[in-house]
């Protein structure tokens, strides 16, 4: 196996471990996939990975149910840096006006990855939200959404934002989607960063 292929495989393995350990609540091993200055971006959270672990654990203890499923990936390695894009699905379950619902959002993880102390780890994770939907768990139950409130959220993660705000989260409204200036800016910065021509993504706040 060539060095590049081995690096791509190790990065993919790290990304898979992120999903398994996060969704299993294996917080200590989950911590190991992050760079010490790692940053997580999501609709409902933007900040250092340690804070992400803390608030995720708090939600876990309160019964917040968010799961992640991974698809194919494309990894570009250049020296000690890499950009990895991985197809993903986010599944969140929760109550909307007393109706138990599942929201499914598909997109990609756009990851800035670095080699740190001999291991490939996450420096910055930015999801790209492509499309979503919402369904009652019991198909016999009728779900009525507030169409005016729904229309206020970005199209790529409209239903995900709807349920997240209903359970008390504040949702960021300018996340990258399949198309638009935000995702084009992300691609441009990622390419420059990979080539060593741009600084690390800015920390939120």
Cα distance between residue 48 and residue 39, in whole Å = 4
Q: Which residues contact 165 (CB under 8 A, 6 or more apart)?
A: 149, 171
Chain position carrying tokens 């960021």: 172
Provide Rg for the chain, Cα atoms.
17
Q: What is the domain partition of the chain in residue ranges?
A: 3-185
Cα distance between residue 17 and residue 35, in whole Å = 14
Q: Are 193 and 112 contacting, i.e. CB atoms less than 8 angstroms apart?
A: yes
Q: What is the pLDDT of residues 62-83, one digit of tens each?
A: 999 999 999 999 999 999 999 9
Task: Compute CA 89 distance to the chain's CA centroid, rounded to the nearest angstrom.
Answer: 9
SS3 percent helix, strand, coil of the chain, rounded to 5, is 35, 40, 25
Q: What is the pLDDT of residues 39-64, one digit of tens each?
A: 999 999 999 999 999 999 999 999 99
Rounded average pLDDT over 154-174: 95
Rounded average pLDDT over 170-182: 97
Is the domain 3-185 a CATH 3.30.70.20 member? Answer: no
pLDDT of residue 159: 97
Rounded average pLDDT over 121-130: 98
Alpha helices in the chain (DSSP H): 3-24, 27-31, 49-61, 147-151, 158-166, 181-194
Mean pLDDT of the chain: 96
Q: What is the DSSP string of 47-75?
A: EEHHHHHHHHHHHHHTT-EEEEEEEEEEE
pLDDT of residue 203: 79
Q: What is the pLDDT of residues 134-157, one digit of tens each?
A: 999 999 999 999 999 999 999 999
Q: What is the pLDDT of residues 6-27, one digit of tens each?
A: 999 999 999 999 999 999 999 9
The structure's pTM equals 0.96
State the distance between the two ends of the chain, measured CA to CA, in whole angstroms. Answer: 42
């Amino acid at each position: 196996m060539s060095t590049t292929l081995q690096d791509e495989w190790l990065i993919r393995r790290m990304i898979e471990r992120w999903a398994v350990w996060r969704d299993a609540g294996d917080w200590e091993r989950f911590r190991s996939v992050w760079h010490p200055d790692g940053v997580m971006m999501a609709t409902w959270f933007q900040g250092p990975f340690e804070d992400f672990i803390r608030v995720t654990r708090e939600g876990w203890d309160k019964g917040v149910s968010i799961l992640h499923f991974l698809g194919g990936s494309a990894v570009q390695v250049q020296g000690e840096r890499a950009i990895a894009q991985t197809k993903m699905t986010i599944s969140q379950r929760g109550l909307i006006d007393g109706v138990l619902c599942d929201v499914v959002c598909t997109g990609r993880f756009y990851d800035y990855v670095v080699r740190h102390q001999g291991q490939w780890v996450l420096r910055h994770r930015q999801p790209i939200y492509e499309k979503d939907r919402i369904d009652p768990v019991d198909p016999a139950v009728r779900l009525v959404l507030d169409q005016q409130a729904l229309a206020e959220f970005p199209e790529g993660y409209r239903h995900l934002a709807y349920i997240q705000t209903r359970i008390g989260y504040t949702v960021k409204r300018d996340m990258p989607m399949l198309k638009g200036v935000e995702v084009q800016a992300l691609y441009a910065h990622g390419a420059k960063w990979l080539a060593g021509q741009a600084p690390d993504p800015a920390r939120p706040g």
